[in-house]
Amino acid sequence: MKILIVEDNQDLADNISNYLEKEGNVCSKAANLFEAENRLMEFEYDMIILDIMLPDGQGLEILRTLKRETNQNAGVIIVSAKNALDDRLLGLDLGADDYLTKPFHLSELNARIKAIFRGRKFQGQQLIKFNEIEIDPETQEVKVNDELLTLTKKEYELLLYFIANKNRVLTKQNIAEHLWGDHMDMLDSFDFVYQHIKNLRKKLTAAGSEDYLANVYGMGYKMKSTV
Amino acid sequence: MRLITKTTLYYLAVSIIVFGIGGIVTYNLIRNEIQLETQYQMAASLPRLEERISRWIDRQRDLSNMNTNQLWVSEVSGPATELVFSDTVAMHPHLDQMEMMRKLSVVKDLNGKFVRIEMMDVFVEDSDIYESVVKIITRLFILLAIALILAGFFISKILLRPFDETLERIRKFKVQDKAKMDLPKTSTKEFATLNQFIGDMTEQAREEYQALKKFSEDASHEIQTPLAIAQGKLELLTDDPNLSEEQFALITSTQNALKRLSKVQQSLALLTKIENREFNPQHQTDVSTLVENTLENFKELFEMRDLRVDSQIDRGVTIKLDKHLGAIMLDNLVHNAIRHNQEGGYVKIELDKKHLRISNSGAPPPGDPARMFRRFEKNGSIESTGLGLAIVKEICDYHSMKIRYMYSTDHQIEVVF
C-alpha cells in the first residue's frame, strides 16, 4: 500500500511510517499543506493520513483539493489533537473515511487503515485469509478450514484486530481500547480482555485451527503467523 | 422599584412639603386680607352712620332706638377716640347663633355730643378659611400628582429608551459572540458615556475570551502531540523481540500513565469548554432515547460485571439539553454506577418528566458525599481521573439542573430537570 503521511510533527510522522513500513507499506511524508499538495499532484496513493492542524493551513483544505483537482482514489484518515465534534463531522462530510484523536495506538491506526483499504479497493468483497482462517468482512463470517465458526461481535472484532496487527505485541490496554473505546478504563476491563481472548482461542482451536495466539509476559498478546 | 417611580415619589414628597408651607402662607394671606377688607368696609360705612346719628341728635330722637345686633350707639362723656378694632362674639343676624365678629369701637364728637359707636360685622371664620385652603391645596396636589405620574411614564418611555436597549444588549451578550456588541446611538450624555464604557468592556472581554480559547485549543494540541509521539515510540519498542519481561512491564505501565494523562487533559479541556459555554443548551433533546442508547452501549459491561439492570424509563421525555453533553453526562453517570458496584449487584435507572435517578448497589462511600462532585476527588481508585462527576456537575449547572447524591441502602444520584 502506498501511504502519504501529512503531519507537521517529524517525530510523530516517523513513528507512523516506521510502524506502517514494517507492515510492508511504502510511506512518504509531507510536513505541510504545500508539500502534501505537491505530492498528491505527482503520485498516486492508496491512503492518506492527515493531521488537520498544519503550519500553513487547515488540513481539511487537502480534502477539498483531493476531490476537486486530482483523480486520486485514496482513503483518508484524519488525525487530530482536537476532539472537536465539528471538525470530525466536517471531515467526514468532506470525504474522510475515519477520524482518530491524538494520542492513538499505532496498532489501532493500522487496523483502521486496513479496514478502509479493504472497503475501498474491493468494495469489501475481498476475503481476509490467515493460514487456515478465512474471514468475509461483508457478511462477517469466519471459516476455519472451510467450516463456519460462530463468534460474538467482540470476538470477531478481536480476531480482525489481531490479524491486522499480526506478529506484533498488542497490550491488554491496546485491545481493551480497541474493543470498548473510551470505556476501557473500567477497573477490571483487562480481565474481560482475557476472557474474550480465552473464548476466541477456544473456539478457533476447537474448529481445528492452530493456536496462533501467544501470551507475552502476561501483559500482552501476539498473533503469530506460524506456530 | 423603577427609577421613574422613585423619582416621582421623591417629587411628590417634595411637593407635599411645598404645598404644606404654601397652605400656611395662603391661609395667613387670605385671613389678613379678609380682616383688612372687613375693617375697611366698616370704616367706610362710618361717615354715613355719623351723618344719620347727627340727624337723630338734631331731631332729639333717642339714639338707643338705632341699636341692632350689629350696631350699638350710646352717648358718653367723652373724649373722642381713634378707631379701635377688636374681635368679639355676637349673635349672627340670620343664623341665629353666636359667631366670631370683628368689632369697631370709636367715640365721636357729633354736634357737641360724644357718641360711642360700636359696630360689628361677620368675620369669615378661621376654620372656614382653613377648610378652603386645605381643599384648594389638596385638589392642586392631586392634580399635580396625576400630572407627574403621567409625565413620568411618558418621559421615561422616551428618555430611558436608549438605556433599556443597552440593558437588553447586555443581557443578550455572550463572550462567545462573534461580532462586536452593537449599542444604540443616544444624544443623552450619561447614556453615551455608559455605552462607550460597556462597548469597550465587552469588546475587551470578547477579545480575551478568543485569546483564551485559542490558547486552550493550542495547549490541547501541544500536549496531545507529544503524548502521541511518546505512545508511538513505546509501541514501536514493544516490537523488539529481545525485550525482557521487566522491560515490557516498564513500557506497559508507562503507556498506562500516558493514557491517563491524556484522559485528564481531555476531561479538563471539556470542562473548560463547558465553562466557556460552547454548547447549545437550548436544544430539545429526547432524554428517553438517549438513556436507552447509553444503556445499550453499556450492555456488555453490565453483563461482564454480572450486574442486573432495572430500568423504568418514561417514553418521550424531552428537555432542553445539549445532545453531546447529555450523552457525556449519561455516560459518566452509568459508568460511575458500574465502577462503584459489586459483583452480582444492580443498577437501577428511573426517568420521568421531572428527574433522572440512577441507583446502584455497592459499599457506602468512604468520603464526604458533598465533595464527590469536586474536581480530582477520587475514592482511592487510581484508574479514575477524578473528573467524571465534576463534569456531570458542570453540565447540570450549565443547564440549570439540580444534582444530588444520597446513600441509604444504595447509592443514588438524582438529577432534577
User: From start to end of chain A, where are the E strands?
Assistant: 2-6, 26-30, 47-51, 53-54, 57-58, 75-80, 98-101, 128-130, 133-136, 141-144, 147-149, 169-171, 213-216, 220-223
Query: Of B265, B304, B383, which to mutate for an interface test with A (greatest number of A Cβ within 10 Å)?
Result: B304
Q: Give φ, ψ of B300 to 5 degrees.
A: -65, -40
Least Cα distance to B279 among B326, B220, B209 occurs for: B326
A111 and A11 belong to one structural domain: yes
Closest chain A residue to B279 measured between Cα atoms?
A: A85
pLDDT tens, residue by residue, B167-201: 999 998 888 777 888 888 888 899 999 999 999 99
Predicted confidence at residue B159, as pLDDT, reads 85
Q: Measured between beta carbons, which residues in chain A are less than 8 angstroms from residue B228?
A: 12, 15, 81, 102-104
User: Region B305-309: what's the mean pLDDT?
Assistant: 89
The verdict on A134 and A100 lying in the same domain is no
Tell me, what CATH number does A35's domain have? 3.40.50.2300
Q: How many CA atoms lie within 13 A of A69 on its CB side?
A: 11
Of A9, A19, A192, nearest to B304 by CB-CB distance is A192
Are residues A108 and A144 located together in one domain of the fold? no
Counting residues of chain B whose pLDDT is more than 90, the rounded percentage is: 27
Q: What is the 3-state secondary structure (H, E, C) of B85-110?
A: EEEEEEECCCCCCEEEEEEEEEEEEE
Selected residue of A15, A51, A192 to mutate for chain B interface (largest B Cβ count, 10 A):
A15
Q: Which of B267, B256, B262 lies closest to B388 in space, CA to CA?
A: B267
The arithmetic mean of pLDDT across residues B283-294, rounded, is 92
- The CATH code of the domain that includes A183 is 1.10.10.10
Chain A positions in Cβ-Cβ contact with residue B241 (cut-off 8 Å): none
Note whether B218 and A136 are within 8 A (CB). no
Q: Quick: pLDDT tens for B57-106.
A: 888 888 888 888 788 888 888 788 888 888 888 777 677 777 778 888 99
Chain B residue with minimal CA distance to A109?
Answer: B232
pLDDT digits (tens, 9 = 90+) for B349-375: 999 998 999 999 988 877 777 778 888
Strand partners, B299: none
Cβ of A199 under 8 Å from any chain B Cβ?
A: no
What residue type is B156 in one-letter code? S
ipTM above 0.90, yes or no: no
Q: How many CA atoms lie within 13 A of B142 on its CB side?
A: 5
Burial class (CB in 10 A: 0-12, 13-18, 19+), B161: middle
At residue B77's C-alpha, the angle toward residues B76 and B80, to 5°, is 85
pLDDT of residue B407: 87
pLDDT in tens, B95-146: 777 777 888 899 988 877 888 888 888 777 778 888 999 999 999 999 999 9
- Whether B333 and B413 have beta carbons less than 8 Å apart is answered as yes
Residue where the block lists cell 438517549: B290
Q: Where are the alpha helices (DSSP H) in B173-286?
A: 189-238, 245-275
Q: Which CATH superfamily is domain B284-416 in?
A: Histidine kinase-like ATPase, C-terminal domain (3.30.565.10)
Query: Helices in B92-188 by DSSP H: which ranges?
Result: 126-159, 161-172
pLDDT reported for residue B380:
58
Angle at the Cα of B206 from the Cα atoms of B200 and B212, rounded to 5 degrees = 135
* Nearest residue of A to residue B217, measured between CA atoms: A82
Residue B284, strand partner residues? B320
Q: How far apart are CA A183 and CA B330, in angstroms?
A: 13
- Is the pLDDT at B291 greater than 90? The verdict is yes
Looking at residue A4, its pLDDT comes to: 94
Give the nearest partner residue to A81 out of B220, B233, B259, using CB atoms. Answer: B220
One-letter amino acid of A178: H
B263 at the A interface (CB within 8 A)?
A: yes
State whether A217 and B249 contact (CB < 8 Å).
Answer: yes
Amino acid at B333: L
Order of all β-strands in the sheet with A169-171: A169-171, A220-223, A213-216
Same domain, yes or no: A86 and A21: yes
Chain A, 149-188: which have a CB under 8 Å from a chain B CB? 154, 168-169, 171, 173, 177, 180, 182-183, 185-188
B249 touches chain A (CB under 8 A): yes
Distance CA A206, CA A136 (A): 20
pLDDT(B19) > 60: yes
Residues A106 and A15 in one domain: yes
Query: What backbone torsions phi and psi does residue B309 show, to the nearest 5 degrees?
Result: -110, 125
Final residue in a domain of this structure, among A100, A122, A144: A122
For residues A18 and A117, state if they share a domain. yes
Same domain assignment for residues A165 and A144: yes
Please count the residue pairs, one from chain A and one from chain B, whose beta carbons lie less than 8 angstroms apart.
104
What distance in Å separates the CA atoms of residue B42 and residue B49, rounded to the nearest whole number? 10
Consecutive 10-residue averages of pLDDT for chain A (227 residues): 91 92 91 89 89 79 78 83 67 82 88 87 74 87 90 91 90 85 63 88 91 86 86
Q: Suggest the residue from A49, A174, A186 to mutate for an interface test with chain B (most B CBs closer than 10 A).
A: A186
From the list A19, A53, A102, the residue facing B228 with the nearest CB is A102
Cα–Cα distance, B138 to B15 (Å, whole number): 11
Higher pLDDT, B273 or B167: B167
CB within 8 Å: A11 and B229: yes
Whether residue A214 lies within 8 A of chain B, CB to CB, comes out as no
Q: Domain residues for A48?
A: 2-122
Could you say which of A93, A122, A151 is where a domain stops?
Answer: A122
Task: Specify burial of residue A69 (Cβ count, 10 A radius: 0-12, 13-18, 19+).
Answer: exposed
User: Which residue has better confidence, B164 or B369?
Assistant: B164
pLDDT the model gives residue B387: 85
Asked if B211 and A85 touch (Cβ cutoff 8 Å), the reply is no
Residue that terminates a domain, selected from A122, A143, A175: A122
Is the bond preceding residue B369 a cis peptide, omega within 30 degrees? no
How many domains are contained in chain A? 2
Per DSSP, the residues of B291-321 read HHHHHHHTHHHHHHTT-EEEEEE-TT-EEE-
> Which pLDDT does position B403 carry in this prediction?
92
Asked if B235 reaches chain A (Cβ–Cβ under 8 Å), the answer is yes
Q: At what angle do helices A33-42 and A60-69 cross, to 10 degrees?
A: 20
The proportion of chain B whose per-residue pLDDT surpasses 70, expressed as a percent, equals 98
Q: Which of residues 71-110 of B touch A (CB under 8 A)?
A: none
